Amino acid sequence: MADKVRTIKVDALARVEGEGAIYVKARGQKVEEVRLRIFEPPRFFEAFLRGRRFGEAPDFTARICGICPVAYMMSSIHAMEDALGLRVDGPIRELRRLLYCGEWIESHALHIYLLHAPDFLGYDDAIRMAKDHRREVERGLELKKTGNDILRLLGGREIHPINIRVGGFYRLPTRAELAPLAEKLKRARDLALETVRWVSTFEFPDFDRDHEFVALRHPSEYPMNEGRIVSTRGLDIAVRDYEDHFAEEQVPHSTALHSRLKARGSYFVGPLARFALNRDRLSPVAAEAAREAGLGGDCRNPFRSIIVRAVETLYACDEALRVIAAYEPAGPPALEAAPRESVGHGCTEAPRGILYHKYQLSADGLIAAARIVPPTSQNQKAIEEDMTRFVEGRLSLPDEKLRWQCEQAVRNYDPCISCSTHFLKLEIDRS
């Protein structure tokens, strides 16, 4: 019986965004194959952007995701500005950072409280958890709402903002309009600190992984909109050199392309990577909270990513308050530039990791070619490798329990399947 093939399938992963599944094939105590199957239908964004005007890309690509539309808007805007030779600074640059803080707060609070925490506390979902942990769930909802409030104020609405454009904004907020937001953010910062303390008391399995972490790195800021692409194994490149170092390939079991570093294979993006490469750029209050929560050095355990998300939420509240305090509206709401035949690259830190956009423009400002590489598709190989190791240590578990633990393990990565599809169910095949 030792050689019997054992198949474990999680047929429809819950509490992740989009449709996907996990397939695990094991023979005896050896895991032969793990596939993260993504069957979210292909969405053809890169194809239907061709022939559209350069200014349309932010609003179009925002529709790729309802959780992280700002990331898509920002990566496309930076790519277009790169193509047009436009350099945006001053209050517009700062407001973009404020907007990104809103998205990190909203997305991280959703994942921490409504999707991930129930796994650690032993509940099927946040609704059942809310019956016993009312105060915590209320805290998560209030945090999420504060993030949404930033998006609504700067973007005109909470999801798929309409006030964001290449060159800047359609309208800049006044200082008076931002003032009430600062009051909410002061409270949110306290709630985020409570969140770091709360999640750091959870129990985490020992599961350290040695991935090459990839993230942006900026001379002075914890990265959101700008920086060089760096890694824990010495990669240090300009955004425009991305394609020289990273490749995407098709795999039969997924509608999402798999990314790899040409030199070394799989790599890992997202909060753990950002933290490992940039923790010296955190604000004092976030750095102190991270230390208090036991995140001294690198955190290489994907289960503990919930603590890093909480630290980043705290940072985002702190940073948002800094931006608001320093904000003085000046100049036009947006800079203009004439189109030209060019290629532009943009890479920003979506809540789930680096999001790369590249556009080729014709002389009349129409998009001739588009390329979008979302964070979840970059992480697929690393997730499959992690799942192989995770299941190997747990093959003695009965299928039902193993299936449940695999599903939890996948949620560590906060995968956004609809974004990556171009991407989850768990199947374990015990041969």
Q: Where on the chain is the footprint of other proteins (CB under 8 A)?
A: 13-19, 66-67, 110, 114-115, 126-128, 130-131, 134, 137-138, 141, 144-145, 148, 158-159, 416-417
Contact between 14 and 21 (Cβ < 8 Å): no
Q: Among candidates 399, 193, 407, 147, which has minimal Cα distance to 287?
A: 193
Distance CA 368, CA 361 (A): 5
Cβ proximity to other proteins, 20 vs 223, nearer residue: 20
Query: For residues 310, 314, 320 and 321, what is the CA-based torsion angle, rounded to 10 degrees?
Result: 160
| Shortest Å, Cβ 379 to other proteins | 16
Distance CA 380, CA 87 (A): 34
Cβ proximity to other proteins, 124 vs 244, nearer residue: 124
Classify residue 190 by its DSSP letter: H
| Shortest Å, Cβ 113 to other proteins | 10
Q: In sequence order, what DSSP letters do the residues of 79-91 get, joined into one string?
A: HHHHHHT----HH
| Shortest Å, Cβ 369 to other proteins | 25
Helix H or strand E segment including 309: helix 305-326
Cβ proximity to other proteins, 121 vs 159, nearer residue: 159
| Shortest Å, Cβ 65 to other proteins | 9
| Shortest Å, Cβ 410 to other proteins | 12
Estimate to the nearest angstrom the gap between the alpha carbon of 43 and the chain centroid.
19
Contact between 42 and 421 (Cβ < 8 Å): yes
| Shortest Å, Cβ 127 to other proteins | 5
Cβ proximity to other proteins, 110 vs 295, nearer residue: 110
| Shortest Å, Cβ 99 to other proteins | 17
Cβ proximity to other proteins, 152 vs 165, nearer residue: 152
Cβ proximity to other proteins, 232 vs 412, nearer residue: 412
Strands 20-27 and 426-430, sheet pairing: parallel
Tokens in use for 114?
A: 């409504």
Longest dimension (CA), the chain: 75
Distance CA 198, CA 271 (A): 18
| Shortest Å, Cβ 391 to other proteins | 22
CA distances from 277 to 173, 215, 222, 264, 387 (A): 33, 7, 9, 18, 24
Helix H or strand E segment including 323: helix 305-326
Q: In sequence order, what DSSP letters do the residues of 120-137 get, joined into one string?
A: HHT-SSHHHHHHH-HHHH
Cβ proximity to other proteins, 139 vs 430, nearer residue: 139
Cβ proximity to other proteins, 158 vs 427, nearer residue: 158
| Shortest Å, Cβ 109 to other proteins | 10
385-389: long-range contacts, CB 8 A cutoff, minimum separation 24: 385/209, 385/211, 385/266, 386/207, 386/209, 386/302, 387/22, 387/24, 387/34, 387/36, 388/31, 388/34, 389/207, 389/209
| Shortest Å, Cβ 246 to other proteins | 26
Cβ proximity to other proteins, 67 vs 323, nearer residue: 67
Cβ proximity to other proteins, 124 vs 336, nearer residue: 124
Fill in the amino acid letter for 15.
Answer: R
